[in-house]
Amino acid sequence: MRAYDLLFEQALTRIDPERIHHAAFRTIRAAAPLTGRAVRLPSAPVRALGLTFPHPLGLAAGFDKNAVGIDGLAALGFGHVEIGTVTGEAQPGNPQPRLFRLKADRAIVNRMGFNNHGSEVVAKRLAAWRAGGGTTLLGVNIGKSKVVPEDEAARDYEKSAGLLAPYADYLVVNVSSPNTPGLRNLQAVEKLEPILAAVRRRADQVRPDHRVPLLVKIAPDLSNDDVLAVADLALASGLDGIIATNTTISREGLASPSAEVEAIGAGGLSGQPLTQRSEDVVRLLRDRVGADLTLVGVGGITSVDDARRRLAAGADLLQGYTAFVYEGPLWPRRIVTGLASGPASAVVTGHATDA
């Protein structure tokens, strides 16, 4: 058993998950000068979204909601960091407790509710970070403020895009979290299209000299037909990519006792139970959109084999979060090193395929 596994099982699981998250994140930020010097990972660059990523693996949105530890996270070995979800208005999120472990499934249930400092505060923080020399490839994930009615969602996303696009290497429209009432309704093509158009227009206004790539993040719970409809919209509207997938509201096939699952209640499930569905969604999307659209595979990627299969299914880039929690701070380095030593180690400029 690895030292981190022992620490996790004997100590960390006895403490509230949200408290542990904040404590671990403080440690990551404090250790950034040391860990950054230590990272020399063997990897092949990936060309996607008009950018050159040092390797495929990045950190998914949700870990650093407020852009307070970008460099520390990159120092652990992530090739890109996606912050957020950031909303137009600051909000505290849902009542605690709101983060739970399902250890038997290597999974997490969260109903955080987009707790964040809001787009104005995060924009100022990102401006200072860029002015201080921040160069980590940065995705900014934006969502709808809870207080904003569904029919005014486009305006809310547009506000965040205007404030945050100047500092982002790419933008993500998140319409797939289950923890903001009505948000997933916005995945319907007729509601999603005006949001994407508003974000695209505003990003172009604030960055007239540079087109910021725009992606949408979708849920694994969409039907296959709805996944294909989003793919068609992405092509028709000139989106740059799709992130597949967010958390699931399904509780099917879990190893955890049903009483434990029921006691936790509502929220989005992430981790190993998503592995197959997320892989299937990536494959479905790639078959539909062809080679040019960037696909980011996220959901249930724990091992090097998981990562290779997701690339083979058609993902250009990968992201993780839950495995990072269960596997520890050396996890990104293990995945990147493993990918570099296997059949996916060639430089890629489109989507990965079986070698």
The answer to whether the annotation marks 323 as part of a ligand binding site is: no
The answer to whether the annotation marks 342 as part of a ligand binding site is: no
CA dist 40 and 26 (Å) reads 23
Q: Which of 160, 177, 270, 278 is catalytic?
A: 177
Q: Is 178 left (phi over 0), alpha (psi -120 to 50) or beta?
A: alpha
The answer to whether the annotation marks 350 as part of a ligand binding site is: no
The answer to whether the annotation marks 322 as part of a ligand binding site is: yes
CA dist 57 and 334 (Å) reads 11
The answer to whether the annotation marks 174 as part of a ligand binding site is: yes
The answer to whether the annotation marks 113 as part of a ligand binding site is: yes
The answer to whether the annotation marks 337 as part of a ligand binding site is: no
Does residue 248 have a cis bond before it (omega within 30 degrees)? no
| 338 token code pair | 């493993």
**CA proximity to 53, closest of 206, 160, 213, 209:** 213
The answer to whether the annotation marks 105 as part of a ligand binding site is: no
Q: In what order do the strands lie in the sheet with 268-271?
A: 99-102, 107-110, 268-271
341 assigned to active site? no
Contacts of 185 (CB under 8 A, 6+ apart): 150, 191
The answer to whether the annotation marks 349 as part of a ligand binding site is: no
On whether the CB atoms of residues 304 and 323 are closer than 8 A, the answer is: no
The answer to whether the annotation marks 124 as part of a ligand binding site is: no
The answer to whether the annotation marks 78 as part of a ligand binding site is: no
Binding-site positions for substrate: 65, 110-114, 174, 179, 246-247
Annotated binding site for FMN: 61-65, 85, 141, 174, 217, 245, 271, 300, 321-322
> Can you say which residues are annotated as belonging to the binding site?
61-65, 85, 110-114, 141, 174, 179, 217, 245-247, 271, 300, 321-322
Annotated catalytic sites, by residue? 177
